[in-house]
Amino acid sequence: MRINPTGNSLPSDIKRLDSKGPNGQSVSRADASAANVSTSATSIQLDSIRELSQVLEQAADVRESVVEDVKLKIQTGEYLTKEAALNTARSILDL
Protein backbone atom coordinates (compact mmCIF):
# COMPACT_ATOMS: atom_id res chain seq x y z
CA MET A 1 0.00 0.00 0.00
CA ARG A 2 1.26 3.43 -0.91
CA ILE A 3 0.58 6.49 1.25
CA ASN A 4 0.21 9.78 -0.54
CA PRO A 5 2.06 12.40 1.52
CA THR A 6 0.21 15.44 0.16
CA GLY A 7 -3.23 14.03 0.94
CA ASN A 8 -4.85 16.13 -1.79
CA SER A 9 -4.27 14.25 -5.01
CA LEU A 10 -5.34 10.67 -5.57
CA PRO A 11 -4.47 8.39 -8.44
CA SER A 12 -7.08 8.58 -11.21
CA ASP A 13 -8.27 5.01 -10.61
CA ILE A 14 -9.29 5.77 -6.99
CA LYS A 15 -12.60 7.47 -6.34
CA ARG A 16 -13.22 9.65 -3.32
CA LEU A 17 -15.90 8.56 -0.89
CA ASP A 18 -16.57 12.10 0.25
CA SER A 19 -17.95 13.83 -2.83
CA LYS A 20 -17.45 17.54 -3.16
CA GLY A 21 -20.26 19.84 -4.20
CA PRO A 22 -19.91 22.76 -6.64
CA ASN A 23 -18.81 25.10 -3.84
CA GLY A 24 -16.14 22.68 -2.58
CA GLN A 25 -18.06 21.55 0.50
CA SER A 26 -18.52 17.86 1.24
CA VAL A 27 -21.72 16.32 -0.04
CA SER A 28 -23.26 13.35 1.73
CA ARG A 29 -23.93 10.11 -0.14
CA ALA A 30 -27.67 10.70 0.29
CA ASP A 31 -27.36 14.14 -1.34
CA ALA A 32 -25.24 12.74 -4.15
CA SER A 33 -27.73 9.91 -4.66
CA ALA A 34 -30.66 12.36 -4.70
CA ALA A 35 -28.84 14.44 -7.31
CA ASN A 36 -28.36 11.34 -9.47
CA VAL A 37 -32.05 10.42 -9.16
CA SER A 38 -33.05 13.98 -10.05
CA THR A 39 -30.77 13.92 -13.10
CA SER A 40 -32.19 10.54 -14.10
CA ALA A 41 -35.78 11.79 -13.77
CA THR A 42 -34.94 14.88 -15.82
CA SER A 43 -33.40 12.67 -18.49
CA ILE A 44 -36.56 10.53 -18.62
CA GLN A 45 -38.73 13.66 -18.90
CA LEU A 46 -36.59 14.99 -21.75
CA ASP A 47 -36.88 11.66 -23.56
CA SER A 48 -40.67 11.76 -23.17
CA ILE A 49 -40.80 15.32 -24.50
CA ARG A 50 -38.68 14.32 -27.52
CA GLU A 51 -40.99 11.37 -28.26
CA LEU A 52 -44.11 13.57 -28.03
CA SER A 53 -42.50 16.19 -30.26
CA GLN A 54 -41.86 13.55 -32.91
CA VAL A 55 -45.48 12.37 -32.74
CA LEU A 56 -46.72 15.94 -33.12
CA GLU A 57 -44.42 16.58 -36.07
CA GLN A 58 -45.82 13.51 -37.83
CA ALA A 59 -49.44 14.46 -37.16
CA ALA A 60 -51.25 16.31 -39.92
CA ASP A 61 -52.13 19.96 -39.34
CA VAL A 62 -55.31 19.55 -41.39
CA ARG A 63 -57.73 16.70 -40.87
CA GLU A 64 -58.62 15.83 -44.43
CA SER A 65 -61.68 13.82 -43.40
CA VAL A 66 -63.21 16.86 -41.70
CA VAL A 67 -62.45 19.09 -44.68
CA GLU A 68 -64.04 16.60 -47.10
CA ASP A 69 -67.13 16.32 -44.87
CA VAL A 70 -67.58 20.11 -44.82
CA LYS A 71 -67.06 20.35 -48.61
CA LEU A 72 -69.76 17.74 -49.15
CA LYS A 73 -72.20 19.58 -46.85
CA ILE A 74 -71.55 22.84 -48.70
CA GLN A 75 -72.10 21.19 -52.09
CA THR A 76 -75.36 19.57 -50.95
CA GLY A 77 -76.67 22.85 -49.51
CA GLU A 78 -76.82 21.59 -45.94
CA TYR A 79 -75.33 24.86 -44.67
CA LEU A 80 -77.71 27.04 -46.68
CA THR A 81 -80.57 26.90 -44.19
CA LYS A 82 -81.89 29.39 -41.66
CA GLU A 83 -81.01 26.96 -38.85
CA ALA A 84 -77.41 26.68 -40.07
CA ALA A 85 -77.14 30.48 -40.26
CA LEU A 86 -78.46 30.84 -36.69
CA ASN A 87 -76.08 28.17 -35.40
CA THR A 88 -73.17 29.94 -37.09
CA ALA A 89 -74.20 33.30 -35.62
CA ARG A 90 -74.51 31.76 -32.13
CA SER A 91 -71.07 30.20 -32.45
CA ILE A 92 -69.52 33.48 -33.56
CA LEU A 93 -71.19 35.43 -30.74
CA ASP A 94 -70.50 32.71 -28.12
CA LEU A 95 -74.19 32.40 -27.23
Query: Could you give the CA distance from residue 41 to residue 67 in angstroms, rounded to a whole number?
Result: 41
Give the start-to-end residue ranges of the domains of the chain: 26-59, 62-95
pLDDT reading at 1 higher than 60: no
pTM attached to this predicted model:
0.33
pLDDT tens string 53-80: 888 888 878 888 999 999 999 999 998 9
pLDDT over 90 (residue 8): no
Q: What is the structure's pLDDT at 40? A: 74
pLDDT at position 67: 92
Q: Which pLDDT score is estimated for 34?
A: 56
- CA–CA separation, 63 and 43 (whole Å): 33
- Taking only the tens place, the pLDDT of each residue in 13-60 is 555 555 555 555 555 555 555 555 567 778 788 888 989 888 888 887
What lies within 8 Å, CB to CB, of 30 at 6+ separation is none
